[in-house]
Structure 1
Amino acid sequence: MTSTTASKTRRRIGAGWLALVAALAVVGLIGTTLVFGGWTPRDALEPGSPAPEGTRALVRVLEQQGVRVVIARDRATAERELAAAPATLVLRDAPMLSDAGLARLAAEARDVVLIEPRSRSLDLLVNGSSLADVVEERPVDPSCDVPAARAAGPSRVGELYRPGDGVTGCYPAEGGFGVLVRENGEGTTAALDGLSVLTNRALPLDGNAAVAVGLLGRSPTLVWYVPSPADADTGTAVPTLGDLTPPWVTPAMVLLLVAGLTAAVWRGRRFGPLVAERLPVTVRVSETTEGRARLYAASGDADHALNELRRAARRRLVRLLGLSARTPAQQVADAVAERLGADRAVVRGILIDDSPRTDRELVAASDRLRDLETSVRATLRTERTPR
């Protein structure tokens, strides 16, 4: 092997190992993210986002209605704005807050609107309400006496909720309600599926905009709280996917990564560079043919041997007669019989039907095949000979 070839071989091996290491690093990163971290849709229900799942359009509509919208990206700002004047608190799911912290924050607002309610917040803030089913988005009549819903008319539902004691349910569908409203003195606590009603995509549909403005625009000030991990109460942390999965998942994923790396090293190992080696002998084609003939003779399968001869003869006859390579054997036999003016049954027997039982009959059938092919060639030469 020349030095140039060896150098190319080493480069190919090096590139292969680099690709393998990169692939394992990507798999490890994905596994680590799944086990120890998590992610959420970046723009979902984000008040400053113009994306389809954002809610900037609703913020602009509320501002045009004279509502002062404050986007609080930390708990301290939200509490300060709520203490300044009666306001509506828009609250997403905030798993980093303890039950006491969540209840304290909600108590500082006159009205509370849960736009991403989970089981805990529904139970804690909406008097024992709970999650129900999820249905395909469709418009539903309000069927309740809540002023905002009655004025809006049909609106979209997606996630459904079961009302607790003293809670009014609006927009009923399949055993649940799309909106829950609880009266608490002068204020209210409402829950709805923000993704189906409040987003830039959903706001123009049916009565979604009217429902959103009716529930979120009750006070001169609206505090839109965007929870942050830094707002976690002492001893409370945001649960990761690793916290929510069974304990055996982490060691199982680590074991799979180690097993994959071990298998890659095992299967990718080489005992030095590949060496080109010249074959010690050259086998002639005739020897291969003779070897196959001896195998046929040893097996005593005359019928199979004749079929091989017939297939080869039919291929040659197809070329001689200008037929398609896909022409069935019966049609080839008929074409040969027509060319020679012979009996079709006889020609079919030679090319298809006859079945030899002994080696002597096999030799005779082989001779008939050869004679048939020779006769066809002779008729073709006669046609081409000028007169």
Structure 2
Amino acid sequence: MSTAPHAAPPAPAPAPAAAAGPATPEPPASTSLAPGRRRLWLRSRWYLLTAALLVVLGLLLGGLAGRSTWPPLDPRSPDPQGARAAVVLVQREGVDLRTVDDVNALAGALREPGTTVVLPRPDLLSPAQLARLGAVPRGSTGRLILIAPEQGALDAFARGTTLVTAPDGFPDLANPISTPPACRLPEAVRADTADLGGLLYDAGAGDTGCYPRHGHQSLVRHADTADRDTVVLGTGRPFTNNRLDDDGNAALALGLLGAHQHLVWYLPDYNTAAPAAHRKQFSDYIPSGWNWAAVQLMVAAVLAALWRGRRLGPVVAERLPVVVRATETTEGRARLYHRAKARGRAADALRRATAHRLAPALGVPTAAGQPEPIALCTAVADRLGRSADDIRALLYGGPPTDDAALLRLTDDLDALERQVRQP
């Protein structure tokens, strides 16, 4: 019985496919278990391209992230978000600069008279540190500049000034824009319009509020005494290198930073998280309406799963063992080969089965279940009086190029076996 995946009616014994002339020996057929380089490339090209894209993207992100080690508003930084240009302007006016990164040194600077102290991101200090600094006796003359302080820092240094929680209707506050001063503060009057915004505040009694946005103030001057004050800024954008030449930013920076002979700039540790009292959770950034939307989507997903889920029917009893006809197994394997387009694997199986059946009929010894190719081809050629090269091309040739070639190979193998078995 033939093991071909397609049943064909018996045909008269034709000459093998190589009737046009002696066929040259071809290399052994490659099977689906040993795919060629082209097939491996076609299978893995998208994975390789995706991995290469991820590597390039990671290198780009790593390079962009590592371009600068300067923190924002650093007076030594030439980066766009640094404040070196503003400090150079102030130093040309005879003001000397020094930086401190320790709370004790910062407390000592607050005690010095005739000194301007710049405190970026005071919310990075703990409540205990803010309370300690707020209790430090300030110099008789001097100025403290708070950049984007939250309520804890305001209570420590500028009592009466309150932070305004930006309502959802003011999405432009995150991007400071050119704003007129609308106040009589000398530094603001000389600067005129400047890039202000960010956090907004309500000035306390006796304080001066400037650069209003949506009815609140972007700059507040809290006067402790006639010669000592605290300036609250909602953003440090007027001091940055890339915005210093916009509007009156340079004049405002020069007026605020150059009010006294000495300038002390505190460098906070930006790698330190904000204190727990001021730290925002991830849920704080999610609008309230999205929570209900997420619940509705989860309910919809559960209902869709119940709707589309497979429903199992009743249990069907079946007697064992189940007898499966050999033809069904052969046809099932043939369909699998056909669906996978494994013509080389199917041809290899047909050739091995034919060689395995021909060897005993010709008295050819077998090793590991298969005969030696040269001995088998020589024995078949002697029996039929044909060329050994033709027999070798038929039994050990290359894989078929299409389904029609596979059917022709099947017919040729059947014809060869019938001819060998004829008395």
TM-score of the two chains, using structure 2 as the length reference:
0.47
Distance of aligned partners of 1:76 and 1:7 in 2 relative to their CA distance in 1, 3 Å threshold: farther
- Whether 2:60 is the aligned partner of 1:60: answer no
Q: How far does the alpha carbon of each residue in 1:174-208 deviate from its partner, in whole angstroms, 9 at most, with x for none?
A: 31223111011242111124444222233233332
**Structure 1 match to 2:382:** none
Distance 2:122 2:179 in 1: 29
Distance 2:100 2:246 in 1: 28
Distance of aligned partners of 1:222 and 1:104 in 2 relative to their CA distance in 1, 3 Å threshold: farther
Distance 2:69 2:121 in 1: 13
Q: How far does the alpha carbon of each residue in 1:208-264 deviate from its partner, in whole angstroms, 9 at most, with x for none?
A: 22222222222322221121157789x869958758668xx9xx9xxxxxxxxxxxx
Secondary structure at the residue paired with 2:91?
helix
- Whether 2:39 is the aligned partner of 1:9: answer yes
Instruction: Indicate conservation of the 8 Å contact 1:139/1:206, yes or no.
Output: no
**Structure 1 match to 2:163:** 130
Q: How far does the alpha carbon of each residue in 1:294-350 deviate from its partner, in whole angstroms, 9 at most, with x for none?
A: xxxxxxxxxxxxxxxxxxxxxxxxxxxxxxxxxxxxxxxxxxxxxxxxxxxxxxxxx
**Structure 2 match to 1:381:** none
- Count of residues paired in the alignment: 248
Q: Among the aligned pairs, what percent are the same residue? A: 29
Deviation for aligned residue 1:17: 4.9
Distance 1:115 1:75 in 2: 17
Distance 2:177 2:285 in 1: 30
Deviation for aligned residue 1:58: 0.6
- Whether 2:174 is the aligned partner of 1:146: answer no
Q: How far does the alpha carbon of each residue in 1:93-126 deviate from its partner, in whole angstroms, 9 at most, with x for none?
A: 1443222312433554542112223344345533
- AA matched with 1:9: R
**Structure 1 match to 2:245:** 204
Deviation for aligned residue 1:20: 6.1
Structure 1 gaps, min length 5: 29-39, 253-270, 283-387
**Structure 2 match to 1:121:** 153
Distance 1:10 1:193 in 2: 60
Instruction: Indicate conservation of the 8 Å contact 2:201/2:218, yes or no.
Output: no
Q: How far does the alpha carbon of each residue in 1:67-101 deviate from its partner, in whole angstroms, 9 at most, with x for none?
A: 22122344354345445665222111144322231
- AA matched with 2:183: C
1:336-351 equivalence runs, <5 A = none
Instruction: Indicate conservation of the 8 Å contact 1:169/1:177, yes or no.
Output: yes
Deviation for aligned residue 1:164: 3.6
Q: How far does the alpha carbon of each residue in 1:128-161 deviate from its partner, in whole angstroms, 9 at most, with x for none?
A: 4213552761241x33333322343443433362
Q: How far does the alpha carbon of each residue in 1:26-84 deviate from its partner, in whole angstroms, 9 at most, with x for none?
A: 999xxxxxxxxxxx996642322223332111110111112221223443543454456
**Structure 2 match to 1:352:** none
Secondary structure at the residue paired with 2:82?
coil
**Structure 2 match to 1:102:** 130
- AA matched with 1:78: L
Instruction: Indicate conservation of the 8 Å contact 1:160/1:176, yes or no.
Output: no
| Residue from 91, 95, 120 that aligns with 1:92 | 120
Question: Which structure: greater helix fraction?
Answer: 1
Secondary structure at the residue paired with 1:159?
coil
**Alignment RMSD, CA only?**
4.5
- AA matched with 1:117: P
| Residue from 171, 176, 183 that aligns with 2:211 | 171
Distance of aligned partners of 1:41 and 1:194 in 2 relative to their CA distance in 1, 3 Å threshold: farther
Higher relative contact order (Cα pairs below 8 Å, separated by 6+ residues): 2
Secondary structure at the residue paired with 2:245?
coil
Distance 1:9 1:190 in 2: 71
Instruction: Indicate conservation of the 8 Å contact 1:50/1:200, yes or no.
Output: yes
- Whether 2:200 is the aligned partner of 1:161: answer yes
Distance of aligned partners of 1:49 and 1:187 in 2 relative to their CA distance in 1, 3 Å threshold: same
Distance of aligned partners of 1:204 and 1:25 in 2 relative to their CA distance in 1, 3 Å threshold: closer
Secondary structure at the residue paired with 1:143?
coil
Secondary structure at the residue paired with 1:211?
helix
**Structure 1 match to 2:143:** 111
- AA matched with 2:119: L
Distance 1:188 1:99 in 2: 22
Deviation for aligned residue 1:276: 4.2
Distance 1:156 1:170 in 2: 12
Distance of aligned partners of 1:103 and 1:69 in 2 relative to their CA distance in 1, 3 Å threshold: farther
**Structure 1 match to 2:403:** 279
- Whether 2:93 is the aligned partner of 1:49: answer no
Deviation for aligned residue 1:163: 2.1
Deviation for aligned residue 1:274: 5.8
Instruction: Indicate conservation of the 8 Å contact 1:232/1:238, yes or no.
Output: no
**Structure 2 match to 1:372:** none
